[in-house]
Amino acid sequence: MADVQEIEFKEAAARGIETTRTLATNSPGEELQELKGEKLVLNMGPSHPSTHGVLRIILELDGEIITKATPDIGFLHRGDEKIAENMTYTQFIPYTDRLDYIAPLANNVAYALVVEKLLGIDKQLPPRCQFIRVICCELARISSHLLGIGALAIDMGGVTVFLHTFTEREKIYNLIEALTGARFTTTYTRIGGLARDLPPGWVERCRQFLDEVLINIDETETLLTRNRIFVDRTQGVGVIPKEVAIDYGLSGPNLRGSGLEHDLRKSQPYLVYDQMEFDVPVGTAGDAYDRYLLRIEEMRQSVRILRQCLDKLPGGPVNVADMKIVLPPKDQVLTRMEELIHHFINVTQGVNAPAGEVYFGHENPKGELGFYINSKGGGTPHRLKIRAPSFVNLSILPWLLPGHMISDVVAILGSFDFVMGECDR
C-alpha cells in the first residue's frame, strides 16, 4: 500500500477571496481591457468537445488570460415554442424529450405537470402516478449528474471517470427502457397520468441498481475528490458569489453551489416531495469544485428519495379517471360508444383546456425548468414559453470567464453542466 498523500485543501473562505469579485465590479474584464499589446481572438466551438454540444464562445485573449468572452448560441434552435403552438398538448410531449436530452423523463414530468396545472387537476393525480413520477425525476437526476461529473472529468483529462460513470448510466438506461420502451426518447408521461404502469419485477431491479450506484458514486469520489490535479484545477476556479448568482438568475446546483439554499422540491413542493425526507446540499465557496461536490451529494440524496418511493409505492391506477383528459382503455374504445367518442375527441382535438395562463417551475437536474402556457381555451396553447435552465445559466459566462486562464474554461463549462438542446430549444 502506498502512503496516502496529504493534499492541501484550501479553506472555503480563502477560495472565495482569491478572486474577489462582487456585483459592484461591473465586468471583471474591464481592467483587463486596458491591457496593451495585441489580443488574440480564439474561436472556441461550436464543435469543441468541451462545449458539450454546439456552444460557441469567442474569446479575446491576452497571452493565456481571457479578457472578453462572448457566447454565441442558437446552433441547435429548432423552434420548439413555435411548434408547440401548432399541435395539441399531448402531441408536444415527445418534443420535451429533446430539450434536456440527458434527463428526458424529468422534462416529461415537468411538462405534464404544467398542463395539469392549467386543467386544474395537478392535485388530483392518483398517488401511484405521483410516486412513479418522482422515481422518474430522481432517476433522471442521477443520470444527468453522472454524465455531468463524467464530462467534467474527461474535459480535464480524467477518461477513467467518464467510463466509470457511463457504466452506471447504462444501467439507468436499461431501467428506463424496461419502463418506457425507449432509452433516450422516453415520452413517458401523459396529461393526467402515465403511458403505462411499472413492468413486473422493475422495483426489484431498481433497488439493485440503487445499491450498485452508491458504490459507483463512492468510487467516483475516490477518483476525483482528493485527486491532486482535479482539486488544483477546480478549487478557486469559476467563483460565483451568491448575489451575482441570484442577479444572473442561476438555478439548480449552480445556484446552490454559491451558497443559496433553495430547491423547488422543498420551497414549492409538488408531487409527493413533501412526504420525502432528503437534504439539500449547499456549497460555500461557489467555485467549480463546490458544484462538483454538490452534484455528488445530490445523487446520494436522490438515492434516498428513490428508496423511500420504492418502499412507500402505493397500488391503484396511474391515470386520473376522467376520460375527457386521459384516453379510455383500448378494449372499451372498441366496444362502447361513449369511450369511442372520448377517444376520438381526445386524439383529434386534444384536452379542452380553459383560457388562462400558468407558470410551473420544476427542479430539473440542470436547474429550474419552467413552462409558461398562455391558453385561449381549447386543445392547443396560444403560446408556450420554455424557461430553460441551461439558457439562463450560460448567460453568466461573459461575466465569469474574463480573468481566467484558457484552460479554466473547460473546467468552468464542465462544472456548469449545460445542455444545448435545452439552451437553444
- Binding of another protein at residue 378 (CB under 8 A)? no
Q: Which is nearer to another protein, 169 or 425 (CB)?
A: 425
- Binding of another protein at residue 25 (CB under 8 A)? no
- Binding of another protein at residue 249 (CB under 8 A)? yes
Per CB under 8 A, the list member of 157, 199, 356, 377 interacting with another protein is 356
- Binding of another protein at residue 395 (CB under 8 A)? yes
Q: Which is nearer to another protein, 10 or 266 (CB)?
A: 266
Q: Residue 131 in contact with residue 115, Cβ under 8 Å?
A: no
In the complex, least distance from residue 375 CB atom to another protein, rounded to whole angstroms: 10
User: What's the CA gap between 81 and 383, in Å, rounded?
Assistant: 7
Give the x-and-dash track for 39-78 against another protein (CB under 8 A).
Answer: -xxxx--------------x--------------xx--x-
In the complex, least distance from residue 275 CB atom to another protein, rounded to whole angstroms: 14
Per CB under 8 A, the list member of 92, 292, 399, 416 interacting with another protein is 399
User: What's the CA gap between 161 and 163, in Å, rounded?
Assistant: 5
Q: Which is nearer to another protein, 156 or 388 (CB)?
A: 388
In the complex, least distance from residue 396 CB atom to another protein, rounded to whole angstroms: 8
Q: Helix crossing, 127-155 with 288-312: angle to 10°?
A: 150
- Applying CB under 8 A, the site for another protein has a residue count of 48
In the complex, least distance from residue 163 CB atom to another protein, rounded to whole angstroms: 33
In the complex, least distance from residue 347 CB atom to another protein, rounded to whole angstroms: 20
Q: Which amino acid is at 357?
A: E
Give the x-and-dash track for 299-338 against another protein (CB under 8 A).
Answer: ----------------------------------------
Among the residue ranges 28-36, 90-98, 150-158, 241-249, the one whose residues contact another protein (CB under 8 A): 241-249
- Binding of another protein at residue 363 (CB under 8 A)? no
Note the maximum CA span of the chain. 82
Binders of another protein in range 73-132 (CB under 8 A): 73-74, 77, 79, 81-83, 86, 117-118, 120
Q: Which residues here bind another protein, judged by CB under 8 A?
A: 40-43, 58, 73-74, 77, 79, 81-83, 86, 117-118, 120, 246-249, 260-263, 266-268, 279-280, 356-359, 361, 368, 370, 372, 374, 382-383, 385, 387, 391-392, 395, 399, 424-425
